[in-house]
Every structure is written in C-alpha cells, then in structure tokens.
Structure 1
Amino acid sequence: MELDRAYERMTAVAVAALHEREPARLWPLVADALAGLCGGEAVVHKLGDWTENEGGFGITPGAAAAPLDRLDEADLRLFRAGYPFARRYAAGSDRTPVSARRAAGRRWPESRTARLLGAVLDVDHVLGVPLPGSTTPITGCLVYRSGTDFSDDHLVMAERAQPLLAAVERQRQLLEEWRRSLGPGAAPDRRAADCALTPRETTVLLLLAEALTADTIGRRLGISVRTVHKHVENVYRKLGTRDRVGTVLRAQRLGLIPAPLPAAPGPGPSRRHGPPRN
C-alpha cells in the first residue's frame, strides 16, 4: 500500500510537471518524486550525451550537487561514465531498471565508482532507470541510496515510472525546441498564457503544425488518441478556430509558432542580348 501511494504521488507530480511552462523545472519536479518512489536519497537525471568527457546532468536534492562541483576532472569523468549502466544499456535494447549491485555483482562494492560515490555522496547503491526507447545516447536517471541495496519492489516501481519519465522528457524537448524556433525575444510562454493555452496544449499545437495525425501525436507524447482529440478541441476553442489549417495560420499570426519562411524567388524571365528581332 505504501508503494502504491508513492506511485500515485509520482503520477500526480508527473501530470503537474506537464503543466509547467519552464522546461528546466520539469526534471527537478519529477526527480524528487522518483527518489521517494524508489527508496532513494538523491537522483541524477542525465538528458544529453553521457560519456566520460562530456554530458550535463542535474541532481536532486540540490544540496547533493555541491560535492560534485568539487570533483577534479578525473573523478568527474568516472562519475559521468555511469558504471555499470552505460555499458550495460548500450549493449542491447533492454531498458529494465536494475541496481548496480545486481548488474555488476560482487565487483560493485570494490569498483572505483562505488568508492567515489561513498566518499563524495555517502551512498552505497545506485539504481539505473533509463528512459524507454532511448538509444544513443542512453538517457534517464540514476537513483542513489545508502545502506541496503534496492529491493525488488523498488525495481518494480521504477519500471512502472518509466513511461511517466519518458512523457516528461518528450514534453521538455518539445518546449525547448519551441523556444529555440521562435528566438529568445519572442516571449512564447507569455503569448501562450495570453491565449490560455496550457503547456500540454502548446505541444499538441506544435505537432499539429507539423501536419501529424492524431495517432502519431499520441505516440510522440505517450497519450491516447482520445486525449489528443481533447487537447485539439481545447486549442480550437481557445484560438477561435475550427480546423487544423485555420488553427496553424492563426497560431502563426499570434506568434505562437514560427511562420513559414518566404519562398526563394525563382529565376526571372530570360533576357535577350543584342537588338530585338523584327
């Protein structure tokens, strides 16, 4: 029952995150709930390339990030390498959550990574929760705890949370792409708020502009076709339109989505050289 309540809280937090207008706030919101769901004390979410030499990450709670800021370059490379998860998940398509102790066996406690985490974060165990469907790079979360290893129940809860995490990441990516496409001075969040569009309705609008079907939009966002249609109806109502084409044009006029670039001028009429013929 306690785990079920934790999952309900995780679901509620994920739904709330989908209504957050600031993309950078989505993962901190969800990561904190994921720690509680999986019996962890801190969570690292890694969204970009995760290699020894590059790749950003965020850590929740924020206080846990302080020791990482003091790592030298060699230890930072070791932390980024994500032993034993990066190699495990890159080797195949299985994205089932697993703890480092179960993945590496007896080698885990004596590994350089385990010793580093004990010294820096005072934790003994790590749970890898990759995003389902992630290929290259493998992205997702690492959940940390001290004491005993993660239990079977914790692994089950982590697997149940994976679709929620994937939905949040897709939302973040779309909102980031939306901001980049309109430029830093476009104030897209304010314009969407002026039209009473929620962040979720905004992402549906963006995908409508790509001429995607409701079924494709549902797959992209991890929602049902029925939910897509509900969002589309809300967008039509709030923008005062009746169909896809009219909605896209209206959104372009309002500066909610980029207007198409003007077509390049074609070649002009050929000119004759020399005197005209009679």
Structure 2
Amino acid sequence: MTQVPGDPRERMLSVAVAALNEREPERLWPLVAGALPGLCGGEMLVYKLDDWNESAGTVGMPSALADVFDGLGEKNMGLLRAGFPFAEHYAARSDRTPLTARRAAGRAWRASPTARLIGDVMDADHVLAIPLPRSMAPITGCMVYRSGEDFTDDHVRTAQQLQPLLAAVEEQRQLLERLRRATAPSPAEGPAREAAADCALTPRELTVLLLLTDALTAAAIGRRLGISDRTVHKHIEKIYRKLGTRDRVSTVLRAQHLGLVPTA
C-alpha cells in the first residue's frame, strides 16, 4: 500500500480499516509505513517501537528503504535510532505534538551529522517526528522524511490528526502479539491445552476474551475492534456458553486455567 486515492480523511480511513483487518502483528507497521508518508507530505518513513536512543532499539522501514540501510555501520545506525533532535526534545517534556527537525533544533539541524546522513542515504532534507501520543518512557513513534522544502503547518496538523490512528495500530499490534502467545501450542500445557481446544472459540472470540482480561467495557472493546457494542455482547455470550461461565471474573479465571489467556 503506497498511495490511497481520495482526500486525506478517506485515505486515513482506508489505512485504519486495513489495520483492523490485519491479523499478522508484524505486518501492521509496514502497512502504515507504506501509506503514512503521503498523508503528511513525506516521501519515506522510519518507525520506532521502542525508545529513541542511539545505543539500542529496533528500526522499522519499508523494504525498499531497508535495502539502503543494510550497509550502514553501527555509528550511522545510532544516528538513525536517536533521531536527532527528537529524543532530547521529547524527553524533556510531556508534550507529544508532532514537530519538524528544523523547528526543534533551529540552525543546528542543517549542520548536524543526522542531517548529513539522511541527505547522503535518503536524499532527504527534512524530518517530521510523529511520536505516539501517550508514549512516555520509552518514547516511540515515526519519523517521516522529505526533500526540498520543510513540512508545512498543514502537514504537521495532519500528522497530529494521525496520532490516534498510530496509537490504535500499536495497541492492535500488541493485542495480536498477546493473542499469538496465548494460543501458541505448548507441549507443557498437556490436558489444559486439550480442554482449551474443546472450547472451540473462534479467533474473534479469543480476541474479545483477551480484552476482557484487561477489564475493558463492551464499548471499549468495540472501539478497539471496530465492531458494535451489540456484536461484542454476542461474542461475550458465546464465550460464557463455551466456557460454562456466567460472569467476567469466572470467565477470566476459567480461561487462565485452560491456558487461553496469560495468568498475568
């Protein structure tokens, strides 16, 4: 997914729908990375699912861009991880409003090693940081790059509008990871795993069950999954029936006993 037709709101909606229907957690951020730059005036994107610091942290990017960075040494990868000047900027405050590198660092941006790096490797001149809105420690998010003129105020406003979508994508990724861990077969589980299989929960029911363990309301579960409250209640009723329970507490305890959800 590189470009989605229509105005920015329609394109944002298309990305959200695609993310909600994706069932493989490792595909979510690459999907966003292919669509997001064009929504806020950029040409390419790097995303960080952990802290912006130069010593450690994963860096995700579209496959075409990954090929470019394969040959970078550790020093240059450190510059990319740190994302100057954003790590220092966001660490010093709770505000997570998107910001361009030039506005954050002033004249120091042009002379920085990071600016030279992205110029040499990406042929880009400017960076727009889009941190996840509630990330505190670690600070996580995306960096969007472009050549030529800096990002406009409209681009920055669009990036701010995208922040809730990015937060929802990350929540969905973490949920899918939890679901994968909870349902992965394990020989050590023995009879408990066999009993769980006998419950015949569907993948969507397992997802709802995981969210029940977080004590979310039906309305909150519906918002997370993009379904109505009524549909959530129907899933919960089926879960109760299949697990032989009558309320949330006993359902979660039963599911933990069967190995359907983590115990902590």
Please give the TM-score of this superposition, normalised by the length of structure 1.
Answer: 0.77
Residue deviations 1:119-145, cap 9 Å, x none? Answer: 011111110000011001100000011
Structure 2 spans left out of the alignment, 5+ residues:
188-192
Residue deviations 1:39-70, cap 9 Å, x none? Answer: 1111111002332111001112x111112111
Query: Shift of the alpha carbon at 1:101?
Result: 1.3
2:116 corresponds in structure 1 to 115
Query: Shift of the alpha carbon at 1:180?
Result: 2.9
Query: Which whole-Å CA distance do the structure 2 matches of 1:110 and 1:100 have between them?
Result: 12
Give, as a single letter, the amino acid of the residue that structure 2 aligns with 1:86: A
1:57 corresponds in structure 2 to 59
Query: Shift of the alpha carbon at 1:178?
Result: 3.1
Contact 2:49 2:140 in 1 (8 A): yes
Query: Shift of the alpha carbon at 1:231?
Result: 4.8
Q: Relative to structure 1, is the Cα distance of residues 163 and 254 closer, same or farther in structure 2, using a 3 angstrom cutoff?
A: same
Query: Which whole-Å CA distance do the structure 2 matches of 1:38 and 1:161 have between them?
Result: 9
Contact 2:182 2:259 in 1 (8 A): no
1:37 corresponds in structure 2 to 39
Contact 1:10 1:30 in 2 (8 A): no
SS at match of 1:96: coil
Give, as a single letter, the amino acid of the residue that structure 1 aligns with 2:217: A
1:96 corresponds in structure 2 to 97
Query: Which whole-Å CA distance do the structure 1 matches of 2:87 and 2:29 have between them?
Result: 20
Query: Which whole-Å CA distance do the structure 2 matches of 1:88 and 1:142 have between them?
Result: 14
Q: Relative to structure 1, is the Cα distance of residues 82 and 222 closer, same or farther in structure 2, using a 3 angstrom cutoff?
A: farther
Contact 1:50 1:56 in 2 (8 A): no
Query: Which whole-Å CA distance do the structure 1 matches of 2:6 and 2:94 have between them?
Result: 28
2:217 corresponds in structure 1 to 214
Query: Shift of the alpha carbon at 1:152?
Result: 1.0
Query: Which whole-Å CA distance do the structure 1 matches of 2:86 and 2:222 have between them?
Result: 25
Correspondence 1:86 to 2:87:
yes
2:235 corresponds in structure 1 to 235
Which structure 2 residues correspond to residues 132-211 of structure 1 after superposition, within 5 A? Answer: 132-183=133-184, 185=186, 195-198=201-204, 202-210=206-214
Per residue, is there more helix in 1 or in 2?
2
Bigger Rg, structure 1 or 2: 1
Query: Which whole-Å CA distance do the structure 1 matches of 2:239 and 2:133 have between them?
Result: 34
Query: Which whole-Å CA distance do the structure 2 matches of 1:103 and 1:184 have between them?
Result: 48
Please give the TM-score of this superposition, normalised by the length of structure 2.
Answer: 0.80
Contact 1:45 1:140 in 2 (8 A): yes
Give % identity: 56
Give, as a single letter, the amino acid of the residue that structure 2 aligns with 1:19: N
Residue deviations 1:58-107, cap 9 Å, x none? Answer: 112x1111121111111111111110111111110110001111111122
Q: Relative to structure 1, is the Cα distance of residues 207 and 97 closer, same or farther in structure 2, using a 3 angstrom cutoff?
A: same
* Number of aligned residues: 246
Q: Relative to structure 1, is the Cα distance of residues 78 and 213 closer, same or farther in structure 2, using a 3 angstrom cutoff?
A: closer
Structure 1 spans left out of the alignment, 5+ residues:
262-278
SS at match of 2:94: coil
Query: Which whole-Å CA distance do the structure 2 matches of 1:195 and 1:209 have between them?
Result: 16
